[in-house]
Structure 1
């Protein structure tokens, strides 16, 4: 953890957002899509939709068109509209700050809930597990599984709760810079002497 922190002092959430609502929408859109593409889409999206009720009152077809390039746009648009309708009716356009309330919303799983709570509210409910975290956790020998929920549970026991939010940012940064899926740069990795390189030849 200390080496990751030292080498990635600027690690942070790669999604652009100014409030919890924007982060929630951006994270929903990030499923099977790059953060770079999501940031392009949300730049215009957030100019037109300032709060949940704005999306709740919009035609789903219009939302589909606005987010089409993020992929799986029909399902995402349906979830976003239904999600925002609940936020409008039940939560007065506010984003709830508990894991149970968030995962009950359409389109929100544990990963998205952990992202929103950790990065928008500073509430550490669990380590965010994406493809980078899954890959590195297995290569480091921390886990031997691909199930995101089980990986989260394991990492939660390995690290102090105060480290949960930043741990995922450090791992994601390392996964993008060095420990890539197809061609990890092990020769130039500052963790080379400590990494068992599980799953690598």
Structure 2
């Protein structure tokens, strides 16, 4: 016999019964125990065998009283001991009842299993979260954003901003076939980048008179096409984009524009803003918010973003997180016109804005240094419709101002020095 436990097998069911001090693992004990109770319930030796077994165990343990049992573990796939028929002898029934009570206690893994039997291990499983935090993020939205939006709607009720009369929704030929109308919407959006709506509208009128279709754009040489769209911003680059886009539409889409954002952004010169606006105007599908420089600027000024953004694409993602989808199509039209008339990029007209008492940026967005009188920037800031709205256009204006300033030559300096000496 070895230390720490013994094995009792009854009715084909294995019960691990640990007894402190000794373990019965001899083949004779296993055979004797199997002969006590069979699956049919008839004992080979009757109650006497069960009694002799208990007496042997008591004598081997060296105690007169029954040894208190310890915790037991039973393999899950095997039947319970309590399923033994009631025809067994009384002594064996007592042992079975005692084992049944022990099985209800907490199971443990026995370190020294009997010979010929595999050690049973507890299977521990952990909740899989795949690295995702179980804490739910709260839905963020700006405080009292509906009131400023209603005031902007009130200020835009007249619909007299440049975007209302010369935007992409007004530049296509309504009598043309649907495929041609969609192409003209895309062309107007491509020309509107870094360009005021007045210039874009004039260029689209000349293109429509020439024939603004995929076939006519491909048949027109670059020089003629450049004269038609001049003076839109970066007109030489846009001539190249118009040719490449028209060739791609004819080759891959049968002359029509794609009906998905993924397909539109593949076209040369088309970005996310143009793609979402084209889906809304040309295909009448709201796929996202068209964020240009006006929407980007005003959203940051009003505090409508969870954190300040540096480009329109970041603004679009943060706006779409909280702004209701039914407002995605309207917000571009509202904020673009509002930015053209009131919330100007330079010298915003906060004194006439209805949100001047609730806007966190009211009376704070104007630059410290004002442009000189007579300069192009001063003339553009005097009227809402002539404001430079893009950073690239402001840089171009600065370069023009530098070129127009009179330069002081070396000869003029010499003359000034001579006059001072003579004096």
Q: 1:14 aligns with which of 141, 156, 167?
A: 167
Residue 68 of structure 1: how far off its partner (Å) = 2.5
- Whole-Å separation in 2 of the counterparts to 1:134 and 1:53: 36
Are 1:158 and 2:311 counterparts?
no
Partner Cα distance (2:241, 2:281) in 1? 21
Query: What secondary structure does 2:344 align onto?
Result: coil
Distance 1:186 1:151 in 2: 22
Structure with higher Rg: it is 2
Point out the more displaced range, 76-85 or 118-127: 118-127
What's the offset of the Cα at 1:179?
0.9
Residue of structure 2 in register with 1:200 after alignment = 365
Task: Return the TM-score normalized by structure 1.
Answer: 0.91
Q: 1:93 is matched with which residue: 255, 275, 278?
A: 255
More helix per residue: 1 or 2? Answer: 1
Distance in 2 (alpha carbons) for counterparts of 1:67 and 1:183? 30
**Residue 145 (structure 1) aligns with:** 309
Aligned runs of 1:2-41 on 2, under 5 Å? 2-9=150-157, 10=159, 12=164, 14-15=167-168, 16-18=171-173, 19-41=181-203
Q: Show CA shifts across 1:39-67 (max 9, x none).
A: 11110111222421221232223212222
Match for residue 108 of structure 1 among 264, 270, 294: 270
For this pair of structures, how many residues does the alignment match?
Answer: 201
**Structure 1 residue 120: Cα displacement:** 2.2
Distance 1:122 1:7, change over 3 A: farther
For 2:280 and 2:357, how far apart are their aligned partners in 1? 31
- Give ranges in structure 2 of 5+ residues lacking alignment: 1-148, 174-180, 367-423
Please point out which of 161, 166, 173 is paired with 2:337: 173
Distance between the aligned counterparts of 1:71 and 1:5, measured in 2?
A: 30
SS at match of 1:200: coil
Aligned to 1:126: 288
- Higher normalized contact order (CA 8 Å, seq sep 6+, divided by chain length): 1
Does the Cα contact within 8 Å between 1:56 and 1:88 map onto a contact in 2?
Answer: no
Further displaced range: 105-114 or 120-129:
120-129
* Contact 2:348–2:365 (Cα < 8 Å) also in 1: no
- CA drift of 1:25 comes to 0.6
Asked if the contact 2:206/2:229 (under 8 Å) is kept, the reply is no
2: distance between equivalents of 1:177 and 1:74? Answer: 29
Instruction: Single out whichever of 35-44 and 64-73 deviates more from structure 2.
Output: 64-73
1:134-191 deviations in Å (ceiling 9; x for gaps): 1101111123112111100011112112211110111111111211111112122111
Which shows bigger deviation, 152-161 or 117-126?
A: 117-126
Q: Partners in 1 of 2:310 and 2:337 — Cα distance?
A: 20
